Structure 1
Amino acid sequence: MRWAIILTTVLFAALLLGCAAEKGAIEPLETPEEKASNIHANPITEWNDEQTMPDIDPTAFVHPYATVIGDVHIGKYVCISPHASVRGDEGMPIYVGDYSNIQDCVVIHALETRDAEGNPIEKNLVVGDDGKKYAVYIADHVSLAHQSQVHGPAYVGSGTFIGMQALVFKAKVGKNCVIEPGAKVIGVTIPDGRYVPAGMAVTNQSVADNLPEITEDYPFKHTNEAVVHVNIELAKGYNAMFGGESTEGTEGEGGH
């Protein structure tokens, strides 16, 4: 008699568990995609009462292990590599221009651009090439190499290469510049066509104004063009592999 009671209890418990599992499968509270999505809106906060989804061109590629959040624009054929983070939830908006690339473990983020009343914090904004204001503006044909950081307010001009583990913070970097690996650019404006030697920290405008010019014999003069080309091909290839949009020809691929 005791065994019959135990068996009945076990069967009843198994039936309840089965029903619960079946109900959970039919009415999930959250799908796996929602739980693990790497592209999503910013949260509502005291300084921002609107949620914005990233605006990503269909020809761009965002790796599943990269993260793009909030008020972010990603242009044509941009390639965003694994573990990169583009986070438009504090400082916003963030703009990444056409044919640029954001490599492994790059961080793009910014200081708060609105106060608790929703008013813009002008000192934390930069003016983009389109005349609009941004927390971070990355122009076309820019390369952000592995583990580099661009922390707004920041502007990076077209054709510029930001080297591995370099930092740009509260700064403007001009067109066709090279920030060599490990260099730091903080609170200054780098003129067009200059380079910052590896490991150097530029925090004084007079130093920035006297940085060396990029000449024909500069060894990294054409590095960015090659890197941009490779990453456009990667964006097209990964999109084809993952079922996204890819085209044979790429108008405007050349650097500036």
Structure 2
Amino acid sequence: EGQPIHIGNGSNVQDFVMLHALETFAQGKLVEKNLVTVDGKKYAVYVGSNVSLAHQSQVHGPAAVGDNTFVGMQALVFKAVVGKNVVIEPGAKVIGVTIADGRYVPAGKTIAAQSDADALPEITGDYPFAKLNEGVLHVNHEFADGYLAASGSAGSHASSPAPGGGSGH
């Protein structure tokens, strides 16, 4: 099994999300090809801060998902690096490529060639899901704050994240 798996602060991991990775140690040695490097550190799976992993999405390492990114329902990220501020719409598959910051992957589309990844459209103001991740995070942060208040716990979602660094319902 691959390790370590990192989930950044403020991220939202929904029901039935799968985070998994290929073997990172074999016969006592590091398997470099099954790791991604983020800020000089190696990970089997890296999920940045303020990322939403929607219901039944999968991130299978080696993989990295950049900050402020939305991974839609039943989407797959496998052996890929996804930039910051990206939207992967429901049912899309990102396999073996790097997605640049500020792009989106249309629903149901499979991106498995770097030339296709490089041709993905940029997120602009008229893109209907441009602010989707902000809305999802807001709702789930409010939910976490309400849960903490109802349970009598001190703090907020930012200072007392759910196990694994995320919050959600």
TM-score w.r.t. length of structure 1? 0.59
Distance (whole Å) between structure 1 residues aligned to residue 58 and residue 81 of structure 2: 13
Please name the residue that 1:122 is paired with: 32
Measure, in 2, the Cα distance between the counterparts of 1:249 and 1:139.
15
Secondary structure of 1:182 counterpart: coil
Equivalent position of 2:81 in the other structure: 172
Q: Which residue of 2 aligns with 1:203?
A: 112
1:40-79 pair list within 5 angstroms: none
* One-letter amino acid of the structure 1 residue matched with residue 50 of structure 2: H
Residue 242 of structure 1: CA displacement? 4.5
- Is the contact between residue 142 and residue 158 of structure 1 (CA under 8 Å) also seen in structure 2? yes
CA distance in 2, matches of 1:127, 1:243: 39
Shift of 1:240: 3.7
Cα offset for 1:243? Answer: 5.3
* Equivalent pair of 1:149/1:167 in contact (CA under 8 Å): yes
The aligned residue for residue 161 of structure 1 is 70
Query: Structure 2: how far apart are the matches of 1:156 and 1:91?
Result: 16
Structure 2 residue runs without a partner (length 5+): 160-169
Q: Which amino acid aligns with 2:22?
A: L
Q: Deviations over 1:215-240 (max 9, x none)?
A: 11000000001111111122223334
Q: Matched residues in 2 for 1:180 and 1:152: separation?
A: 19
| CA distance, structure 1, for counterparts of residue 139 and residue 49 of structure 2 | 15
Question: In 1, distance between residues paired with 2:113 and 2:148?
Answer: 43
Q: TM-score, normalised by structure 2?
A: 0.89
Who is 2:164 aligned against? none
Is the 2:93–2:110 Cα contact (8 Å) retained in structure 1?
A: yes
Which residue identity lines up with residue 120 of structure 1 in the other structure?
A: L
3-state SS of paired residue (2:25): coil
Aligned to 2:126: 217
Superposed CA offset, 1:6-39 (max 9, x none) = xxxxxxxxxxxxxxxxxxxxxxxxxxxxxxxxxx
How far 1:214 sits from its partner (Å)?
0.5
3-state SS of paired residue (1:235) = helix
- TM-aligned CA distance change 1:91 to 1:216, over 3 Å: same
Confirm or deny: 8 A CA contact 2:3 2:21 kept in the other structure.
yes
Conserved 8 A contact 1:237-1:246: no
Shift of 1:241: 3.9
- Unmatched runs of 5 consecutive residues or more in structure 1: 1-89, 251-256
- For the aligned residue pairs, the C-alpha RMSD in angstroms reads 1.6
What are the superposed Cα offsets for residues 81-137 of structure 1, whole Å, 9 maximum, x if unpaired?
xxxxxxxxx100000001110001111111110112x21100100112x32100000
Give the Cα–Cα distance (whole angstroms) in 2 for the partners of residues 249 and 140 of structure 1: 11
Alignment map for 1:100-111 (pairs within 5 Å): 100-111=11-22
Which structure is higher in helix share?
1
Larger Rg: 1
Contact 2:71/2:90, CA 8 A, preserved across alignment: yes
One-letter amino acid of the counterpart of residue 109, structure 1: H
Residues of 1 paired with 2:8 and 2:18: CA distance? 16
Identity across matched positions, percent: 66
Matched, 1:99 2:10: yes
